[in-house]
Amino acid sequence: MLEVERGTDLHLPRRMRRLRRSESIRRMVRETHLSPADFIYPMFVVRGQDVREPIASMPGQFHLSVDQMAVEAGELRSLGVPAVLLFGLPGSKDAVGSSGYAADGVVQKAVRALKDADPDLLVITDVCLCEYTDHGHCGVLDDQGEVLNDPSVELLVRQSLSHAEAGADIVAPSDMMDGRVGAIRAGLDGNGMTEIAILAYAAKFASAYYGPFREAADSAPAMGDRRGYQMDPANGREAMMEMSLDLAEGADMLMVKPALPYLDIVQRARERFDLPIAAYNVSGEYAMIKAAAQQGWLDEERVIQETLLSIKRAGADVILTYHAKEMARWLQTPSH
């Protein structure tokens, strides 16, 4: 007589295979789904006219002048991608990043151009000084080259206000200064901009995966590195504390950056916080796939889809990714 453990389902082994045998069945029982609405598309804005310059370290990405924003807005609308994240490359830099909070700054102009082209496109602006300072750090330096927290926060508030005045829907502080979310919230509210949301780079790690971005944004530090204010990759509990602090200070969304090496942090954040969780699929993650695909070492479309699925499965509500447009195109085909 066959003896089985109480409660064991004798049909279970076959059931697992039966639900995998065709694409139609797999699609029907699939647990995680990607949509173009999940994506935020990062863009690099530069001075000039009719500029669409390829970024060597990030194949398929470009430096774009402000007049190219309408073209991008139209393409994103057709693909169903709802939002962009803007990074600016200014015409000049100084010790305090003053072009970052100038009313006629390149990001401020790009915000206006995008909103004129498509008022429904969500425009998010990166708030940081590193692209605008001549030393490449995310804040103001003292005489010894150390980043000063509070003076830096004051300038980040000015930058956020200038972006909001230009028409940004969401500001995204990425600097990792202490207290900057609360200061930005107070600055926005005090100037009658209570409707502007904050997407906080809450758990931003001092990662080696940012290399291509630093070339694209011309933001590599001239001396030292950013480990004094970005997070140690070894620390998970600290990431939860950073996110809790940003939540308490008024953040509306919390971001983990990078995504793939920190999916455990994404999952823990999703389980702990009720706010929307964003994950940034950063430049190094993008560039590795592109480089391997160019060599014919992997199936580019399948790897990109698997990568983005893994981020969403871990718990991200929103994915910031340079793959947004190509993935949205593939999702429009019946096979997806």
**CA atoms of 138 and 176, how far apart (whole Å):** 8
Lowest mean pLDDT among 4-18, 98-112, 152-166: 4-18
pLDDT of residue 215: 81
* Nearest Cα to Cα of residue 287 among 196, 185, 208: 208
User: Which among 320, 324, 291 is positioned nearest to 305, based on CA atoms?
Assistant: 324
Give me the amino acid identity at 224: G
pLDDT at 13: 61
pLDDT at 144: 86
pTM: 0.92
Taken as a whole, the chain contains a residue count of 336
CA dihedral over 291, 295, 298, 300, signed as positive or negative: positive
Strand partners, 42: 85
Using pLDDT thresholds of 50, 70 and 90, give the confidence band for residue 1. very low
pLDDT 10s digits, 101-151: 999 999 999 999 999 999 999 999 999 998 899 888 888 888 888 889 999
113-127, 188-202, 206-220, 245-259: segment of lowest average pLDDT: 206-220
Right CATH number for 33-331 from 3.40.50.300, 3.20.20.70, 3.30.1300.10, 3.40.50.620?
3.20.20.70
Mean pLDDT of 302-323: 98
Considering 172-176, 219-223, 297-301, the range whose residues carry the highest mean pLDDT is 297-301
Residue 282 has pLDDT above 80, yes or no: yes
Spell out a b/e string for 51-67, using b for 16 or more CB atoms within 10 Å of the CB, else e: eeeebebbbebbbbbbe
- Per the CB < 8 A criterion, the answer to whether 210 and 284 are in contact is yes
Tokens for 207, please give them.
Answer: 């990662």
User: Tens digits of per-residue pLDDT, 88-110?
Assistant: 999 898 989 899 999 999 999 99
**Pair 259, 316: CB distance under 8 Å:** yes
Is residue 69 very low, low, confident or very high in pLDDT (cuts 50, 70, 90)?
Answer: confident
User: Mean pLDDT across the stretch 14-42?
Assistant: 88
pLDDT, averaged across the chain: 92
By annotation, the residues acting in catalysis are 204, 257
pLDDT at 217: 67
- Rounded Cα distance between 79 and 71, Å, is 13
- Greater model confidence, 95 or 264: 264
| pLDDT mean over 304-323 | 98
Are 132 and 92 a contacting pair, CB within 8 Å?
A: no
For residues 181 and 219, the model is more confident at 181
Q: Is the pLDDT of residue 162 over 80?
A: yes
Would the pLDDT of 5 be above 70?
no
Residue scoring higher pLDDT (336 or 97): 97
Domain locations in the chain as residue ranges:
33-331
Tokens of 135: 């030393």
Tokens 């904050």 map to which residue? 198
Q: What is the rounded average pLDDT of the residues 186-209?
A: 96
Flag whether pLDDT at 196 surpasses 70.
yes
Asked if residue 160 has pLDDT above 60, the reply is yes
Both structure tokens of 123: 């425009």
Question: Which position has the higher pLDDT, 25 or 3?
Answer: 25
